[in-house]
Amino acid sequence: MPYFDAASAAPLHPVAREALVASLDEGWADPSRLYREGRRARMLLDAAREAAAEAVGCRPDELVFTPSGTQAVHSGIFGALAGRRRVGRRLVHSAVEHSAVLHAAEAHEAAGGAVSEVGVDRSGRVAAGEVAAALRPDTALVCLQSANHEVGTEQPVEEVAALCREAGVPLLVDAAQSLAWGPVPGAWSLAAASAHKWGGPPGVGLLAVRKGTRFSPQGPLDERESGRVPGFGNLPAIVAAAASLRALRAEAGTEGGEAARLRGLVDRIRRRVPELVPEVEVVGDPERRLPHLVTFSCLYVDGETLLHELDRAGFSVSSGSSCTSSTLTPSHVLRAMGVLSEGNVRVSLPYGTPEAEVERFLEVLPGIVGSVREQLGVPAAGPGPASAADPSSASVPSPAPEKPEDGEHGEVGEVGEVVDALGRRCPIPVIELAKVIDRVPVGGTVTVLSDDEAARQDIPAWCAMRGQEYVGEESAERGAAYVVRRRV
């Protein structure tokens, strides 16, 4: 069964499996002890640390292993903030960071700290200049992922790191998704990653703190791992994680290696999906991206149903659609980018994915999307442009304007059509909008009443894809009223 969700957790790399089994026999003892078994365990730990440090691009004594990538992020953030508390308490991060960073930011703000969020463009990329503009005298730390977990867009880490160094502010880089493909570039101060993203065992993270970075570990101190991570580490898992990272990096880095091969497969998906499936938006930067990940959104599709149907066809994929989440809230990444969230599919190919599996995915996807749309009663393709192959080929919606003045487009229900989608979840509000848009004259309006949080994101995105004008959002007795003007 093809597994296409390596961005969540990659299958155990064969080298990791071999190292794990071998180290279970050799690495069970306490590496801090001086007897033979302890010395043997210490040698394994030191070798793993050296291999991981080489992959990260730091010194071995700057790197510690943690029980997870999330703990590495949290330890890095709170240790750096504490180390610079005399400077200030402001944390700066991008709007598309992993939830581990966002949760830490929420806790920091709840404790009285300040947080500044930097937006991204439609491809999910932050502008280095906007990060620099967010820096203030009280800024203690900047957090920026090396590449986005959901859409694969690479961030300008090297440029941001140089700006932060010039301002005297440390930069923490979440390198969980990119570390398998290369070291973290630039003069960063802290870096965090998670082994299960690159084919290592779950339960192993790493945190690198470069020399000269003010850092104060939080919580009760321990003599292990430079006092930064308490408790007895899972040495066999650490050894396996380091071994798989080294092996994958070697395979990925060669000319025509695994990174290039997977990039070619992803390029094929990015190109073929919009050709095979109408009304699709491929999101994320088409060039500056991870080699193994592609995300696209299908208009008029229930994301949960789509994922279930793909699973029945034998494909394991992920999604940022709100209708696949118990919170019914669209992915914060897709929301920050301003792109379509309904019918969202993230394909992330693990090491060794056969070309034939990608071809079969492309064969079955059109029929599955068509079947889901048919179940939902989707109308034939409406007026306006066809599907958008990438963010640069789609119209970019303007930010929602202020509430229109009275009479600007007439009273609701008098000038245009009104769609009552209250109590109905994505993608129904957009489907109902598509059904009535051709009933109004060019220049006329359709007002969609909806209490679905995804509508605030998906209706403007639909307008961008279909060449219609998103007039704006009005308050309503229940939910909100979204006004669309027909342009084509």
- 190: helix, coil or strand? strand
CA distances from 487 to 20, 301, 438, 440 (A): 61, 24, 10, 10
The amino acid at 288:
R
- 434: helix, coil or strand? helix
In the residue annotation, 323 being an active-site residue is answered as: yes
101 vs 216: CA distance, rounded Å: 18
Helices (H), 138-220: 157-167
Pairing of strands 190-194, 63-66: unpaired
User: Which structure tokens are listed for 305?
Assistant: 């149903």
391 vs 343: CA distance, rounded Å: 16
Starting at the earlier edge strand, list the strands of the sheet with 280-283.
Answer: 280-283, 293-298, 344-348
Catalytic-role residue among 298, 323, 426, 463:
323
User: 362 CB contacts (<8 Å, ≥6 apart)?
Assistant: 268, 269, 272, 273, 276
Q: Burial, 418: exposed, middle or buried (Cβ in 10 Å; 0-12, 13-18, 19+)? A: middle
For the annotated catalytic residues, the residue numbers are 323
